[in-house]
Chains A and B, each alone.
Chain A
Amino acid sequence: MTTEKNPSDKHNEDYEIDTLTNDRLMKDHEYDGIRELDNGPPSWFNWLFILTIAFAVIYLVRLWVFRADDLIQMKEYNQEMAEAERRAPALEDAGVFEVKLLTDAQSLANGKQTFDNICAVCHLVDGGGLVGPNLTDNYWIHGNSIDDLYRITTEGVIEKGMIPYRDQLSPRQRLEVNSYILEKIVGSTPAKAKDPQGDLYE
């Protein structure tokens, strides 16, 4: 370690300085050859520390004294839900929205995407059926009209594990996927078909 004696301290005291940095070494601080410099923390360090403490004080005062809405998670949640409610577009409800079979290519393509992402989990991608029934045959438990499918998709069959998609899919998406099933899945030949369930239609 490069050090030298400097006898002319302003306090008239012997101390050593580190020649590489010109910093003063602590007196009597040596541990297995390790020395320590007499520097203070950099001033930006002090400011950083003061700022974070100020942040902490303001944060706690805002919560504990002023009960700030953005720091109380139930208020935050209620606000988020109210905001979503307010922004939600007026959805086509049953009265205005006409449930009828869609046959255009775009609707069927959208329907396929929804089917593959969601329905396939229980009915398989080719509709052959797994936990859910086979959708390719002409046997139906709850009917085979577009209205029947729309109702089942919307309300679900909870006791059988088919959940309601009222809150997960828009009316349009539900209609698209129902149309896809009736137009493309029914009558196709799946790789492995589940045994028929329900009544024969047509």
Chain B
Amino acid sequence: MELQKFTYDNRIARMFLNATVLWGIVAMLVGLLIALELVFPRLTHGVSFLSFGRLRPLHTNAAIFAFVGNAIFMGIYYSLPRLLKTPIYSQALSSINFWGWQLIIVSAALTLPFGYTVGKEYAELEWPIDIAIAIVWVVFGINLIMTTIKRRTKHIYVAIWFYIATFVTVAVLHIVNSISIPVSFLKSYPVYAGVQDALVQWWYGHNAVAFFLTTPFLGLMYYFVPKAANRPVYSYKLSIIHFWSLIFLYIWAGPHHLLYSALPDWVQALGVVFSVMLIAPSWGGMINGLLTLRGAWDKVRQDPVLKMFVVGITAYGMATFEGPLLSLKSVNAISHFTDWTIAHVHIGALGWNGMLTFGMIYWLLPRLYKTKLWSVKLANAHFWLATTGMLFFAIPLYFAGITQSLMWKEFTEEGFLKYPNFMETVVQILPMYFLRVFGGLLYISGVVLLIINVIKTAQIGTFVATEEDEAPAFKPESISGDRGHRRIEGKPVLFTIIALVVISIGGIVQFVPMFMVESNVPTISAVTPYTPLELQGRDIYLREGCYNCHSQMVRPFRSEVERYGDYSKAGEAVYDHPFQFGSKRTGPDLARAGVPGSLVHKPNSWHYNHFLDPQKMIPQSIMPPYPWLIKRDLDISSTPKKIRVMQALGVPYPDGYDQIANDDLMKQANQIAQGLRNEGIEVDDTKEVIAMIAYIQRLGADIHRAGSLTSTK
């Protein structure tokens, strides 16, 4: 057989490697800053673009899409051509992929801190950036699929199955969840509202974890673990079983983020059972990773690369056991809205994604620079800093989450909430927040050691820009005798189509009834659209990222109804584009903040003073001050367009209302401001804080306007 010569391009892998390290440290430093803000709430006093609500989305986006995203491309661009014995399909597309992705990250860093956000968790980026993401992702997909078509090997290896599933699913998730109507260049409203928006968002959010943080890394594991250990993969059959079951089951599990919410029982139940069934396929990946190391455990003890892989895969096993556990309604009743979730995701991010990424980088460095790693000792130190850092991060937060949740739920013998003041439950867990900062510091110090090793290894070695290899050409007839799964391993396009079908089923089964059957979102006639001032206030609520710390979803529990007011109903959120249920209660729930007589309701003057200086109103509060809301004038030029977009989305404002909306807005603003002035507060009608107060005083109020708050005593 005639051998053909070809080359692998290491430059693109090196570019992504450097980007991974750079964005990794940035994402983690932003994380450190916001962790510090939780214990020193006045740390960035008055600097709007450094406030917690603005930076938390930057941290999550940077960690997921910049750090892990670049690591995915690094690993794929290195392994894909070698697994297929062919160069990457197009170097031009590789470059577009690289520079396009970095440009997206930079634009995220330039928009999120300045409040340009859609207000949907992990999908905060505004519509022009969303379009750029879709384009760059498709460029990556073309490069991936075309390389598999141009391959010299007969079949595609399991790693590539995972790469393909990653490509098709992330494309579908991103596009479906991001559909919105622009109001201006950097402002848009999602087409979905309320519980429907929540369902789509968590279908996306959960599967961003599945198909951005999990499947690509399983693919990378299948390449880098056997390579680094020089051992065969434990089980090909297991690969088939866990690959297909994983991608089929994962897509159904999103509703477990909405347990005990206003989502119908049947959708919640699907979220529960599909999450439970995910244990086996997830552990299938862990088994295949760890058992591949059989016969190489002596090497694991010495080699920092393998050590990192083992801890990473173990963290994956822990997180994917914990995930189904958290999806049981009885456990979720305790864990949801608390720091337990934060601990859980960091086991995944710091353990699974972080450790695997570091391991890959330490394995790649000597190969890219044709030398030994500059310091194995330093890499070992990094391993220990990362491992202990992760534990110091997660364990205090598990403790904090459970402690706070139990305090929220505890009743006295007389039948009253034991801790009716939310603040008490925050003060209790602040020491844990300090420990988390310490854990994060350890983890970041480890990454600093990595950076030193990256720089020093590059200095002592010589970069191998291209590597030569040779293989015989692929002959289609050579796979004509394939049977069973082997057949689609030889047909990557067919494989991609089957994967697309498999990942589409769960979403369709959940979405179609939710959007078509009215009984899933029962109408409440008392619920009416927001006034123009409230709508503008709501956009400020989104801009400031309030949802990062305040939920708007009272669950049907006695403890929550007593604390916050009547439980939330699906029909109340029908005009919420986007929904703002939230997923974490660093502060109290606000779903009933506008209901007079509820424990969370406060007078306008209280809100004014509280935005200006939270610690003046509640000395131990960890909410940051928002002095800029008091200073800035509300931009009302956008009101007519916003009303028109809302009308296009089906919100029933009367015809022509856009033209008179600002009259109503000024009237309501004057009313609120006059009330404040009567209480001795110097404030103009035109300030942003007036709109914000208007919005908060509307929250949950519609269904209470006629009657009083439901009470059990």
Contacts and interface: CB of A to CB of B under 8 A. Distances in A.
Contacts of A169: 416, 420
Contacts of A26: 236
Contacts of A39: 234-238
B233 interface: yes
B164 interface: no
B280 A163 contact: no
Contacts of A184: none
B294 to A, nearest CB: 5
B241 interface: yes
A117 B424 contact: yes
A118 interface: yes
Given A32-B82, A60-B273, A85-B712, A168 B280 contact: no
B235 A34 contact: no
- Majority SS at the chain A contact face: mixed
Contacts of A163: 597-599, 601
B330 to A, nearest CB: 9
Given A52-B276, A131-B609, A168 B599 contact: yes
B413 A1 contact: no
A173 B272 CA distance: 41
A31 interface: yes
Contact of B232 (A1, A85, A87, A125): A1
A121 B421 contact: yes
B412 interface: yes
A25 B280 CA distance: 24
A131 B618 CA distance: 11
Determine the interface band of chain A, counting residues with CB < 8 A from chain B: 35 or more
B236 A38 contact: yes
Interface in A31-86: 31-42, 45, 48-49, 52-53, 55-56, 59-60, 63-64, 71-74, 76-77, 80-81, 84-85
Interface stretch (A7-15, A94-102, A133-141, A154-162): A154-162
A6 interface: no
A164 B597 contact: yes
A142 interface: no
Interface in B82-110: 82-83, 85
Query: What 8 A-B pairs come out closest when comparing CB atoms?
Result: A20-B295, A161-B603, A56-B273, A49-B280, A77-B556, A35-B232, A31-B157, A36-B236
Interface of B: 79, 82-83, 85, 153-155, 157-159, 222-223, 226-227, 230-239, 241, 245, 260, 265-266, 268-270, 272-274, 276-277, 279-281, 283-284, 287, 294-296, 324, 411-417, 419-421, 423-424, 556-558, 561-562, 567, 596-599, 601-603, 605-606, 609, 616-619, 711-713
Interface of A: 1, 18, 20-21, 23, 25-26, 28-29, 31-42, 45, 48-49, 52-53, 55-56, 59-60, 63-64, 71-74, 76-77, 80-81, 84-85, 87-89, 91, 117-118, 120-122, 125, 130-131, 156, 158-161, 163-164, 166-170, 172-173
